[in-house]
Chain A
Amino acid sequence: MTAKQPILSVQNLHAKVEDKEILKGVNLEIFPGEVHAIMGRNGSGKSTLSYTLMGHPRYVVTEGKILFKGIDITEMTPDERARTGLALAFQYPVAIPGVSVSNFVRASVNAVRGKDVPIKEFRAELKEQMKKLGVANEFLGRYINDGFSGGEKKRLEILQLALLKPALAVLDETDSGLDIDALKTVSEGINNLSNPETAILLITHYQRILNYVEPQFVHVFQDGRIVKSGGGDLSKELEARGYDWVSQELTPSGVS
């Protein structure tokens, strides 16, 4: 193994929301070219991890740190993190009435790339990605997530990641609410994000999406931390044996 630097290094991360501690010592390293999946029950703190990584102001880090490309981003604002190359695809993207998808996406791409991409160039890139994701042209004139179906919201999230080309894409429950066709298209979109320089962190409740996006590393999340890590096969074992199996395995001495 080469002495590659990890893209993401989460070290003993503790975070609270409104005085309730939710993350209780998360440790995680992700290297370029890797696809990781974090699996866990609802309420285990998975989404908190994704929000804390992206810097949501309501999620306060109380201990530990987040290194991204070797830089400590723990105190950075969300936009600074985005410009450093981190991106999050939301589980529930919010609607912003009156702001068109095309305006927003262009502003976002310019902000993250740190320069104004010529409109022609941007259009061409946008059209290509939209085609890949099966997104219709009329999408661009609509207001962000306003009146969007679940599938449309997720496609818009993936479309944005494809344009932003983040070094690390965190995808929070991207598979939820998708029918099988949409799941296939969106998974393909996720696979297209992956290359030897970038990494992907999938956060999911179900194993279903992992049939289409295959992780090399699977982590089981429970009570605010990673309690078990393994290879791609771990997800299948979880699917077969359930999360209880992990819980039991972790409490051999009867301590719960």
Chain B
Amino acid sequence: MSAELIQDQSIGNIGNDYSQYGFQDKEDYVFKSGRGLTREIVEKISAMKNEPEWMLKYRLRALDIFLKKPMPKWGNCGLLDSIDFENIFYFVRSSEKTEKSWDDVPEGIKQTFDRLGIPEAERKFLAGVTAQYESEVVYHSIREDLEAQGVIFLDMDSGLREHEEIIRKHFGTVIPAADNKFSALNSAVWSGGSFVWVPEGVRVEIPLQAYFRINAENMGQFERTLIIAEPGSFVHYIEGCTAPTYSTDSLHSAVVELIAKPGAHIRYTTIQNWSKNVYNLVTKRAVAHTDAKVEWVDGNIGSKLTMKYPAIHLVGERAHGEVLSIAFAGEDQHQDAGAKMVHAAPNTTSLVVSKSISKNGGRTSYRGLVKVYPEAKGAKSNIKCDALLLDEKSRSDTYPTMEIDEKDVTIEHEATVSKVGEEQLFYLMSRGLTQDEATAMIINGFFEPFTKELPLEYAVELNRLIQLEMSGSVG
């Protein structure tokens, strides 16, 4: 298959649905018979959560779409087709979660916790042994501050119970169920995730961290997150953690919707380090209205296959979008990540900085889309992809797609692939650093534009994690 063909397919399938902006994508349904997921399971999930009727209908419609939609025919098809939907457990209610014992957690994961210096309580949470990070005291004071500001920060299930009207108005408006096969799956069986609503003009100064939530279902397979920033507000949301997130489940398919109303600013930071058996197929999309700003800061370290292309639809004048991402692929890993910037209004601007590292035969891909609609005059987009290969076996590809339907635009795209320089290694080693230490230092430097955007504790952890990955004892 030629590279052009692959790119062509990626345009149609990355998952654009512009219906809410008056654009429609063609969709071809191929009927597929049902697999492990049934209508009864979906009904049961909804009933157990005591959901309103409209949500049940939404789920069931999504289920139909999921069953009819073919698997994507692009990306890493071999790996995608190996997903066995029959073998996936679609819903585990947290109260019924089988309590795993610490002894069941693989030794490698425990050792990594040790080396990262993760506190005991947090380790059990991360390993899925306890459902909750025991930091209720910290959490309480944060929650009181948020409540005083009128900010809502709940898990999505509670959000639906307590703020049904807000959710009904926004849920699925950024990423419709029919967007792609995995968003349909998520829409049918979602559970957990976060609901954040920030009132007009409110600035949330501390980052909201998913693991501070009492009922921490965010680590689930099919989490669903919706963040709404009312006009002129600001919020920074952080999910994930640098410690390996152990999961016995092989499929993680989240949907994250962000809505930045006029003049609002949302930053969404992810550090993903799923264990290396996980398929991480996530749909993330934001809508930025007039003068709004949205930033995705996205780090992908773990998983077997990640396919994730955070998107920003710049629908209001002067809206600005940024995607800053890193990906690290070791042996048997494929990080297929990228960004999509859709300029649908004049003078909108976007910036993408993507950095990837492949090691031990690992594979990274940058798959990106820049789309400029007619009349989006003065749109500017700048894309920079840097790939670093640590050995001859590893691989990196770039699949950029541009659809520019307006003349008055400035689009820049720059891509580099480099190897860790022999001279750089020699220089560092001649000052006493071992080869692994020197390589880790070069890599940390390569990732630095990303790391410096993280809160300090995350940056420190990420650097340590990379050192571990380089030491050969992990991965």
Contacts and interface: CB of A to CB of B under 8 A. Distances in A.
B432 A112 contact: yes
Interface string B392-433: 000000000000000000000000000001111011111111
Interface stretch (B101-109, B148-156, B445-453): B445-453
Contacts of B426: 54, 56-57, 78
Contacts of B445: 96-99, 143
Contact of B449 (A98, A112, A160): A98
A112 B431 contact: yes
B435 interface: yes
Interface in A107-160: 107-108, 111-112, 143, 160
Interface in B430-475: 430-435, 437-438, 441-442, 444-449
Nearest to A86: B430
B448 A107 contact: no
B448 A160 contact: no
B441 A104 contact: yes
Interface stretch (A18-26, A87-95, A238-246): A87-95
A152 B437 CA distance: 25
Contact of B441 (A79, A87, A107): A107
A220 interface: no
Interface string B126-148: 00000000000000000000000
Contacts of B428: 96, 104, 108
A104 B445 CA distance: 11
Given A57-B422, A58-B422, A107-B441, A99 B448 contact: yes
Given A96-B442, A98-B447, A111 B422 contact: no
Contacts of B434: 77, 79, 111
B433 A98 contact: no
Contact of B448 (A98, A111, A112): A98
Contact of B431 (A57, A97, A98, A108): A108
Interface in B307-345: none
Interface residues of B, number: 24
A78 B441 contact: no
Contacts of A94: 421, 423-424, 427
Contacts of B431: 82, 87, 104, 108, 111-112, 160, 164
B397 to A, nearest CB: 23
Given A94-B423, A96-B424, A107 B437 contact: yes
Contact of A88 (B424, B430, B444): B430
A96 B432 contact: no
A88 B426 CA distance: 11
B326 to A, nearest CB: 12
A184 interface: no
Nearest to B430: A78
Nearest to A113: B432
A97 B452 CA distance: 13
Contact of B429 (A77, A143, A164): A77
Contacts of B442: 96, 99
A82 B438 CA distance: 13
A99 B179 CA distance: 41
Contacts of A228: none
A69 interface: no
Residue with the highest number of chain B CB atoms closer than 10 Å, among A79, A81, A93, A103: A79
A16 interface: no
A164 B433 CA distance: 13
A77 B428 CA distance: 12
Contact of B435 (A77, A81, A83, A111): A77
A97 B451 CA distance: 13
A57 B382 CA distance: 39
Contacts of A111: 431-434, 437
A83 to B, nearest CB: 5
Nearest to B427: A94
A82 B435 CA distance: 13
B441 A99 contact: yes
Given A97-B445, A107-B441, A79 B427 contact: no
A81 B441 CA distance: 19
A78 B423 contact: no
B355 to A, nearest CB: 10
Contacts of B438: 79
A88 B444 CA distance: 24
A160 B421 CA distance: 21
A99 to B, nearest CB: 4
Contacts of A90: 427, 430
B391 to A, nearest CB: 15
Contacts of A99: 441-442, 444-445, 448
Contacts of B432: 79, 82-83, 108, 111-112, 164
Contacts of B423: 94
A54 B432 CA distance: 11
Contacts of B429: 77-79, 82
Contact of A98 (B422, B427, B435, B444): B444
Nearest to B450: A98
A54 B430 CA distance: 7
B471 to A, nearest CB: 14
Interface string B194-225: 00000000000000000000000000000000
A101 to B, nearest CB: 12
B11 to A, nearest CB: 33
A81 B433 CA distance: 11
Contacts of A98: 444-449
Nearest to A56: B426
Nearest to A95: B424
A90 B449 CA distance: 27
21 contacts: A55-B430, A56-B426, A78-B429, A79-B429, A79-B434, A79-B435, A82-B431, A88-B430, A94-B424, A96-B424, A96-B427, A97-B446, A97-B448, A98-B445, A98-B449, A99-B441, A104-B428, A111-B431, A111-B433, A112-B432, A164-B431
Which 7 A-B residue pairings sit nearest by Cβ, starting from the closest?
A98-B445, A98-B448, A111-B432, A99-B445, A112-B432, A108-B431, A78-B429
